[in-house]
Amino acid sequence: MIPNTIEGQIADLYHRHAESERRARNRKRTGTVVEGPDDKGRYRVKISEQGGTPYLSPWVKPKTYAAGGVKMDVVYTVGEQVDLVSESGDLTDAVIEMSTYSEANARENTGNVPLHIKIGSTVIQAGGDGVTITAGKIVLDGEVHLGGEGGQLLHRKGDADSDGDTAVGSATRVYAV
């Protein structure tokens, strides 16, 4: 409702302008994860701090690359820098859009490998010429075909078979340590 007096209308316009500016500032905010994930996969993000008091977002969901038949879930860690996005500028409907490298969590993919995933000391790298998996332990659960389907069961050169014979030949495309 429009106020009846000029003073009231000016105050109303000032309030509307201040609210528009507040919402514009909140359309995209960068902060750090301080809590989460909860049982619904939501997080709280520290957006700023004033006078020693942190300004925290409400519990917000992250966007994901896929949430249908294919699901991809990335769990953010406390201290990780993220971007909060809200179309309306009201943080109650914000989502975590992406994570952003920071001084505390710097980019490590200095070789610009097209796909580089690192979790602790486990690293998966994929590029046009191959895939490298580095981990303390790698478990493949299921039937494994090396070099393509239709191959023969194999054992390593020098291994003994069930008859006690020692293998002299070996696979040409499979190596084991």
d(C-alpha 153, C-alpha 147), whole Å: 12
Note whether residue 93 is domain-resident: yes
Listed residues 88, 106, 124: the one ending a domain: 106
Shared domain check, 96 and 17? yes
Count of structural domains within the chain: 3
Distance from C-alpha of 63 to C-alpha of 73, rounded to nearest angstrom: 9
- Say yes or no: 42 and 97 in one domain: yes
Which residues on neighbouring strands pair with residue 46, listed in sequence order? 32, 56
Do 19 and 102 fall into the same domain? yes
d(CA 153, CA 170): 11
Q: Look at residue 1 and tell me if it is in a domain.
A: no
* pLDDT by 10s per residue, the chain, length 177: 888 999 999 999 999 999 999 888 889 999 999 999 999 999 999 999 999 999 999 999 999 888 888 888 889 999 999 999 999 998 899 999 988 888 888 888 888 889 899 998 999 999 888 999 999 988 888 888 877 888 777 777 888 878 888 888 777 776 676
Instruction: Please give the structure tokens belonging to residue 124.
Output: 């998966």
Same domain, 83 and 118: no
Residues 102 and 113 in one domain: no
Same domain, 52 and 64: yes
- Domain range for 29: 6-106
Q: Let me know whether 34 and 113 are in one domain.
A: no
